[in-house]
Structure 1
Amino acid sequence: MKKAVVVGAGLGGLSAAITLASKGWDVTVAEKNSHSGGKLMPVMLGSYQFDFGPNTITMPQVFEQVFRHARKKMEDFLEMVKLEQHTVNYFPDGTRFFLSSDKEAMKRQLKDLDPKGHKNYGRFLEEISRLYRLSEAHFFPRMFKSVMDYASPSLSYAFMRVRPLETMDHFFRKYFGNEQVIQAFNRYATYIGSSPYQSPATFAMIAYLELVQGVYYVKGGNTKIAESFYKIAQEMGVQFIMNTKVQELQVSNKRINTVLLENGQELTADEVILNADLLKAFPELVAESDRPHFTDKKRNGYAPSISAFVITAGAEGKFDQLGHHNVFFSNDYRSEFDELFKRQAYSSDPTIYISNSAYTDPSQAPDGSNLFILVNAPPLTEDGRLQVSPQSYKAIIYKKLEDHGLSLTGRIREERIFTPLDIQDTFGAYRGALYGISANKKWDAFMRPSNFPADIQNLSFAGGSTHPGGGSPMVTISGMNVAEEIARRSK
């Protein structure tokens, strides 16, 4: 029986483990934390429950595919609730703009708010659908094993049809005229940790996921996805070593011969899958002499994505103005991204996202509201410093919410702050970046590090810093893709 070791029990590692186990492999997963799912981490504060992330679930068919590998039905494990009107966007002048997968509901709003957008909305949906279909056919299932893969004629043809040289902001302005509407759509760039004024229009396909396929929530918390994967993986015979960090991947003759754990345990395997932040884990676990094609200098050349400043706040009572997903926008979105990416500084006027999942699922906060408050943050400095005082920045966030009419004064019963330092330490994220590599540079947006390193024959990568990219569906796809390829080449 072939043996595999998976380093990391994130969604990519879990989907890889389940896929290989379904093909008869003996799989062991080593995870440094006590929970599975990586950033899909449950946070409990008193009676308040939070999903650390992701709060927005799209592409349920991807997760369903993992269950099919295990010969299980997703509905036996998860209750996916579709949120028709899923996000409320608030602007400083009091305007509200609701995002929905109901086409007619969107057009009714746009009729008064954005006549140009109302006229173009059908064409806009057609174009983002086209971008998604091309990506689904040519990019999601593809793994890049050598430079020659990038030269594929079919890939080149598809690449030039997904607007790689246009920015997301420029793309949205073709269809919409109202600055607030454009701002709401530009926020999709943050889903890949990037700026709408730099990242390619290709990623406007994210709008397709929310406005056509729809946004979902898992009853009982989105973390149920990871918990279910963990459960069925165990049922399939996958062994988990939790609360144990991998110390080193020892290489001999261009193959990993030993996976050394910090407790001194040694694991051997035919194949090793690294489901961890590639920019941090690969250099830490493999000696530089064994990875000449991925030196520390090359790693340092990648621009990390944005990070996050998060407050989990358990509040008394309900907030009538809040929906499930809520965004309170800044006065000047472009300046906000200039601060984040050009100055590597915290915005003085941040856009604030709030997930209030108790709006849909009261069991998450029986005593009130579970407010997951997130503000985009720059990654840590190159020498690992945090550029802000957490308590001072929390005060700025609460003051801005109060200016929007959302006062939390006297209502918070439980509270915890997570900074990019916490994200780095908890999830092994390079400089605390949430999505690995930024998509602001055209090359980095499409030519992410290969799933299969050039220097080590039995090592592969799954997760957000390799193909097909960040986000819970993409990392799940990466795990399945890698496992399928490993199984093929091992026959």
Structure 2
Amino acid sequence: MPSTAIVIGGGLSGLSAAISLAKEGYAVTLVERHDQTGGRARVFEAAGFRFDMGPSWYWMPEVAADFFRQHGRSIDDYMTLRRLDPSYQVIFGEEEQVSLPSSFAALQGVFEGIEPGAGAQLARFLDEAEYKYKTAMSAYVRKPGLHVRELCNGEVMRSFLRMDMLQSFSRHARKFFKDERLLKIIEFPVLFLGATPERIPAMYSMMNYADMKLGTWYPEGGMHMLVSAFTRLARESGVNIMLNTTVEGMDVAGDRITGLRTSRGKLTADVIVSGADYHHTDQQLLPSGKSNYSVQYWEKRVMAPSCLIYYIGVRKKIGRLQHHNLFFEDDFRQHAAAIYNTPEWPQKPLFYLCCPSKTDDTVAPAGMENLFFLIPTAPGLLDTPAIRDQYLQFVLRKTEAFCGENIADDIVYSRSYACTDFIADYSAFKGNAYGLANTLGQTAFLKPSIRHKSITNLFFTGQLTVPGPGVPPAIISGQVVAEYISKQKVSRYESVI
């Protein structure tokens, strides 16, 4: 009989882990509380519109492509990617916006037009970022994060200084650029990492390489097409997917989980992988006294932002918008302080607006627009209907001022999603949307472990463990834990820090 495994949670990390374990010969069951897979990347339809609920940026397409290749497939047989051009636009005011073309030569021209010499500086900046990206992908990202010894190899040691782990992103960026508009463009990818650019290591300039060199892509039909591709591959790999199944608790005897109590009865397996919220599994699903970490440990974790999202359907086409739109009119530092320093609702937030109907006519009825607004917020904030309406009016006013036309009167569908929804739908710790902050003190082996310290058949995957938050890291996280589990079938467990 083959070994059996249960994966809790049908997000991308759970799907990745399930597929990878099936390839290693496990009989895998994946349990998902919702009526569809995807986790934060679920989809819903209303009033003729189709809304991706979470991720909308598609960077690092090679991660998913390599995953499918490792399983003897081509991702091109499962979905179609389109590179966006321009990649996105950044809006600094009603009459000032910068579009970032997909061509690097054209992008250099844009930078040069804003700040003389910045085109050449961008090339130098991205040369360094390319080294960080490629080194991170080959030497850091796929480590299980169980011991500092993982970083004690030649490639890691040789790369340490060039990876810029001890310099802040803010200081690093200002060595290359002076114009505040360019600095906002360069710093925007780290807005969701869980700290201000002054506190994020310069290592994360590798995200600029992913953005400006590897490109911004869109899966035709929507981001959920990536989930559909992974779900289809899971079923082709023999994974049994149980939807509408909530895990309510774990039974433990000695050093093993002996069963999962679910809304559809008890399930058992040789190996359990939790792709659910790590804190929820650790503090709620496990019996008292069996947690991997203490309450105090979790309270000391620094979280990446939560967010306030609006899904809006508009009964007309709207000018001046592109697929991705970053509204950076107001003070970045003031908004960042409201997220990271003194958590509170921001007074004048920056926000992101995705309008996928500019690229894809299947996501909205003919002649209409599909709008997805996102405001980064501190995790754990109390949100009320009044607060949600206040910020909806704010983003609509800003968008109307930029587009030069009324939008509010033509809204035919509206739904909001915030901290309390992340808790209700995903049991998300403090209502987080993105996981742990990517600070130096929460990197690699300093993240929550992929395995339980004393329960030998319980493992973890997802955004609160290695390698971190985001769509590509989620895919990698599932691979990392599956590879580790597979190795443990033929070797002893290492000591856990």
Q: Give the TM-score normalised by the residue count of structure 2.
A: 0.93
Partner amino acid, structure 1, of 2:322:
G
- Asked whether the 8 Å contact 2:79–2:226 carries over to 1, the reply is yes
Equivalent pair of 1:18/1:66 in contact (CA under 8 Å): no
Greater CA drift, 360-369 or 9-18: 360-369
| Residue in 1 that maps onto 2:430 | 431
Match of 2:383 in 1: 386
Is structure 2 residue 276 aligned with structure 1 residue 279?
A: no
**Does the 8 A contact of 1:146 with 1:450 survive in 2?**
no
Counterpart residue number, 1:87: 88
Which 10-residue stretch deviates more, 87-96 or 29-38?
A: 87-96
SS in 2 for 1:36: coil
User: C-alpha distance in 1, partners of 2:192/2:45?
Assistant: 25
- Greater displacement, 118-127 / 65-74: 65-74
In structure 2, how many angstroms separate the alpha carbons of the residues matched to 1:194 and 1:102?
Answer: 30
Q: Which residue of 2 aligns with 1:316?
A: 315
Q: Which residue in the other structure is 1:332 paired with?
A: 331
Q: How does 1:51-450 map to 2 (within 5 A)?
A: 51-92=52-93, 94-146=95-147, 148-149=149-150, 155-263=156-264, 265-291=265-291, 293-367=292-366, 368-381=368-381, 385-386=382-383, 389-405=387-403, 407-439=406-438, 441-446=439-444, 447-450=446-449
**Aligned-pair CA distance for 1:72:** 2.3
Residues 143 and 150, structure 2, Cα contact 8 Å, conserved in 1? no
Alpha-carbon distance between aligned partners in 1 of 2:290 and 2:147, rounded to the nearest angstrom: 18
Question: Structure 1 pair 124/247, CA: closer, same or farther in 2 (3 Å)?
Answer: same
Report the counterpart of residue 494 of structure 2 in structure 1: none
Separation (CA, whole Å) in 2 of partners of 1:62 and 1:7: 22
* TM-fit CA distance, 1:153: 6.4
User: Match of 1:131, as an amino acid?
Assistant: K
SS of match in other structure, 1:14: helix
Change (3 A) 1:443 1:346: same
The 2-side partners of 1:203 and 1:288 are apart by 38
Letter in 2 for 1:307: S
How far did residue 110 of structure 1 move? 1.5
Q: Are the aligned partners of 1:167 and 1:201 in contact in 2 as well (CA < 8 Å)? A: yes
Greater mean deviation of Cα atoms: 331-340 or 275-284: 275-284
Q: Assess if the C-alpha contact under 8 Å between 1:356 and 1:372 holds in 2.
A: yes
1:175 Cα shift? 1.2
Alpha-carbon distance between aligned partners in 2 of 1:115 and 1:195, rounded to the nearest angstrom: 27
Deviates more, 1:180-189 or 1:275-284: 275-284
Letter in 2 for 1:370: N
Distance 1:7 1:194 in 2: 30
The 1-side partners of 2:5 and 2:296 are apart by: 30
- Rounded to whole Å, the distance in 1 between the matches of 2:122 and 2:147 is 40
SS of residue paired to 1:138: helix
State the secondary structure of the residue aligned to 1:34. coil
> How big is the shift at 1:487?
1.5
Amino acid at match of 2:271: E
* Segment drifting more, 99-108 vs 473-482: 99-108
Secondary structure of the 2:30 match is strand
Provide Cα deviations, 1:444-470, integer angstroms capped at 9, x if missing partner: 244211212322211111111111111
Q: Is the 8 A contact 2:17 2:482 kept in 1?
A: yes
State the Cα distance separating 1:277 from its structure 2 match.
1.9
Match of 1:461 in 2: 460
Task: Report if the CA contact (8 A) 1:254-1:290 is conserved.
Answer: no
Question: 1:179: Cα distance to partner?
Answer: 0.1
Give identity over the alignment, percent: 26
> Pairwise CA RMSD of aligned residues?
1.9
Cα shift at 1:122: 1.3
How far apart are the structure 1 equivalents of 2:431 and 2:409?
A: 31
CA distance in 2, matches of 1:99, 1:454: 47
Alpha-carbon deviations, 1:369-401, whole Å to 9, x = none? Answer: 1000111111114xxx33772112212222222
Separation in structure 2 between the aligned mates of residue 296 and residue 152 of structure 1, nearest angstrom: 34
One-letter amino acid of the structure 1 residue matched with residue 354 of structure 2: S
- The CA deviation at 1:404 is 2.7
Structure 2: distance between partners of 1:465 and 1:287: 20
Contact preservation (8 Å) 2:303, 2:437? yes
Aligned to 1:485: 484
Q: TM-score, normalised by structure 1?
A: 0.94
CA positional deviation for 1:345: 1.1
**How far did 1:74 drift?**
1.1
Structure 1, residues 329-384: CA drift from partner, whole Å, max 9, x if none?
Answer: 13211111111211211211111211111111111113311000111111114xxx
Contact in 1 for aligned 2:192/2:376 (Cα 8 Å): no
> Is the Cα–Cα contact under 8 Å of residues 57 and 215 in structure 1 kept in the other structure?
yes
Displacement, 1:156? Answer: 4.7
Separation in structure 1 between the aligned mates of residue 329 and residue 379 of structure 2, nearest angstrom: 20
2:428, 2:54 → 1: CA distance?
A: 14
Is the alpha carbon distance of 1:112 and 1:68 closer, same or farther for their aligned partners in structure 2, counting shifts above 3 Å? closer
Structure 2 unmatched runs, 5+: 491-497
Say which SS state the counterpart of residue 389 (structure 1) adopts.
helix
Asked whether the equivalents of residues 88 and 98 of structure 1 are also in contact (C-alpha less than 8 Å), the reply is yes
2-side partners of 1:50 and 1:393: how far apart? 20
